[in-house]
Structure 1
Amino acid sequence: MDKSLEKSLAKWLKSQQFACGIYLKLAILCGLLNGAAIIAQAYCIAQILQGVIMAELPVNQLMPYFIGLATLLIIRAGLAYGRERFSFEAGKRLRQDIRQAVLNKLVALGPAFIKGKPAGAWASIVLEQVEDLHDFYSKYVPQMMLAAFIPLCILVVVFPLNWAAGLVLLGTAPLIPMFMILVGMGAADANRKNFTALSRLSGHFMDRLQGISTIKLFHRGEAEVTQIHQASEDFRSRTMSVLRLAFLSSAVLEFFAALSIAVLAVYFGFSYLDHLDFGHYGLGISLFTGMFVLILAPEFYQPLRDLGTHYHAKAQAIGAAESLVELLDYPLTHTAAQSGNEMIDLNKVDIVANNLQVMSLDGQCLLGPLSFSIKAGQHVAVVGASGAGKTSLLQALLGFLPYKGELLINGQPFNAISMAHWRKHLAWLGQDPQLFHGTIAENVALGRPDMSESSIINLLEKAQVADFVKQHPQGLYSMISDQSSGVSVGQAQRIALARALSQQASVFLLDEPTASLDEQSAEAVMVSLSQAITDNTAIMVTHKLEELTGFDNIIVLDKGLLIEQGNYTSLMAAQGKFYQLQQQEANV
Structure 2
Amino acid sequence: MASMTAHGVLDPRQRAWLRAAAKPGDPALQLAGVWLIVDVLAAIGFAGGLARALALLPQGLAASAPWLVLAAVSLASRGLLSGLSARAGARAAAEIKAQARRQAVGALIDRAPDDGRSAGERMTAAVEGVEALDGYFARFAPARFAAVVAPLLAIAAVAFASPVSAGILLATLPPFVVGMALAGLAAADASRKQFQALARLSGLFLDRVRALPLILAFQAEEAQSGRLARSADNLAERTISVLRIAFLSTGVMEFFAALSVALVAVYCGFNLLGLLPFPVPETLDLQRAFFALALAPEVYAPMRRLAAAYHDRQLAEAAVPALSEPVSVTRPTAKAVLATAPAIRFEAVRVVYPDTDRPVFDGFDLDLPAGSFTALTGASGAGKSTLLHLLLHLAPLTDGEVLVDDRPMAEVGDLAPMIAWVGQTPLIAAGTLADNIALARRNATRAEIAEVAERVGLTGALAARPDGLDAWIDERGGGLSGGERRRLALARALLKPAPILLLDEPTANLDPEAAERLLPVIAEAARGRTTLAATHSEALAALADRRVRL
Query: 1:21-170 to 2 correspondence within 5 Å?
Result: 21-50=26-55, 57-59=58-60, 62-63=63-64, 66-100=65-99, 102-103=101-102, 106-107=105-106, 110=109, 125=125, 128-159=128-159, 164-170=164-170
The 1-side partners of 2:285 and 2:357 are apart by: 81
Which of 5, 20, 35 is equivalent to 2:25?
20
The 1-side partners of 2:190 and 2:354 are apart by: 31
Of 102-111 and 398-407, deviating more is: 102-111
The 2-side partners of 1:478 and 1:157 are apart by: 63
Letter in 1 for 2:548: I
Over 3 Å counting, the alpha-carbon distance change for 1:374 and 1:223 in structure 2 is farther
Over 3 Å counting, the alpha-carbon distance change for 1:363 and 1:112 in structure 2 is farther
Query: 1:195-234 to 2 correspondence within 5 Å?
Result: 195-198=195-198, 233-234=233-234
Over 3 Å counting, the alpha-carbon distance change for 1:543 and 1:92 in structure 2 is same
| Structure 2 residue aligned with 1:411 | 406
Which of 456, 470, 493 is equivalent to 2:452?
456
Aligned sequence identity (%) = 29
- Aligned length in residues: 537
After superposition, what is the alpha-carbon deviation per residue over 1:48-93, rounded to whole angstroms, capped at 9, x for unaligned? 44555xxxx4226843xx4234224313432542343244224423
Deviation at 1:296, TM superposition (A): 2.4
The 1-side partners of 2:56 and 2:425 are apart by: 83
Of 207-216 and 73-82, deviating more is: 207-216
Query: Are the counterparts in 1 of residues 419 and 502 from structure 2 also a CA contact under 8 Å?
Result: yes
Deviation at 1:409, TM superposition (A): 0.8
Deviation at 1:482, TM superposition (A): 1.7
Letter in 1 for 2:368: K
Of 365-374 and 389-398, deviating more is: 365-374
Determine if the alignment matches structure 1 residue 173 to structure 2 residue 173.
yes
Determine if the alignment matches structure 1 residue 315 to structure 2 residue 314.
yes
After superposition, what is the alpha-carbon deviation per residue over 1:302-348, rounded to whole angstroms, capped at 9, x for unaligned? 2222211111122122223333323xx525443x432x222x4433x
Give the gaps of 5 or more residues in structure 2. none
* SS of match in other structure, 1:135: helix
| Structure 2 residue aligned with 1:341 | 336
Over 3 Å counting, the alpha-carbon distance change for 1:471 and 1:384 in structure 2 is same
Over 3 Å counting, the alpha-carbon distance change for 1:164 and 1:400 in structure 2 is same
Determine if the alignment matches structure 1 residue 481 to structure 2 residue 486.
no
Deviation at 1:352, TM superposition (A): 1.4
The 2-side partners of 1:150 and 1:61 are apart by: 33
| Structure 2 residue aligned with 1:497 | 490
Which of 326, 330, 333 is equivalent to 2:327?
330
| Structure 2 residue aligned with 1:447 | 440
Letter in 2 for 1:397: L
After superposition, what is the alpha-carbon deviation per residue over 1:470-507, rounded to whole angstroms, capped at 9, x for unaligned? 55666655543222222343442343234334446543
Determine if the alignment matches structure 1 residue 374 to structure 2 residue 329.
no
Query: Are the counterparts in 1 of residues 433 and 473 from structure 2 also a CA contact under 8 Å?
Result: yes
Letter in 2 for 1:318: E
Deviation at 1:298, TM superposition (A): 1.6
* SS of match in other structure, 2:324: helix
Letter in 2 for 1:32: I
Query: 1:432-443 to 2 correspondence within 5 Å?
Result: 432-443=425-436
Deviation at 1:137, TM superposition (A): 2.7
Query: Are the counterparts in 1 of residues 143 and 306 from structure 2 also a CA contact under 8 Å?
Result: yes
| Structure 1 residue aligned with 2:248 | 248
The 2-side partners of 1:140 and 1:5 are apart by: 16
Query: Are the counterparts in 2 of residues 355 and 406 from structure 1 also a CA contact under 8 Å?
Result: yes
The 2-side partners of 1:366 and 1:488 are apart by: 37
Query: Are the counterparts in 1 of residues 192 and 319 from structure 2 also a CA contact under 8 Å?
Result: yes
Letter in 1 for 2:84: R
Query: Are the counterparts in 2 of residues 337 and 417 from structure 1 also a CA contact under 8 Å?
Result: no
Query: Are the counterparts in 2 of residues 366 and 389 from structure 1 also a CA contact under 8 Å?
Result: no
The 2-side partners of 1:357 and 1:147 are apart by: 61
| Structure 2 residue aligned with 1:575 | none
After superposition, what is the alpha-carbon deviation per residue over 1:370-416, rounded to whole angstroms, capped at 9, x for unaligned? 34122321414164654x65534322202445646422111122233
Over 3 Å counting, the alpha-carbon distance change for 1:225 and 1:70 in structure 2 is farther
Give the gaps of 5 or more residues in structure 1. 557-588
CA RMSD after TM alignment: 4.5
Deviation at 1:437, TM superposition (A): 2.5
Over 3 Å counting, the alpha-carbon distance change for 1:229 and 1:393 in structure 2 is farther
The 2-side partners of 1:331 and 1:437 are apart by: 30
Deviation at 1:254, TM superposition (A): 0.9
Query: TM-score, with normalisation over the residues of structure 1?
Result: 0.75
Deviation at 1:280, TM superposition (A): 2.2
| Structure 1 residue aligned with 2:548 | 554
Over 3 Å counting, the alpha-carbon distance change for 1:17 and 1:78 in structure 2 is farther
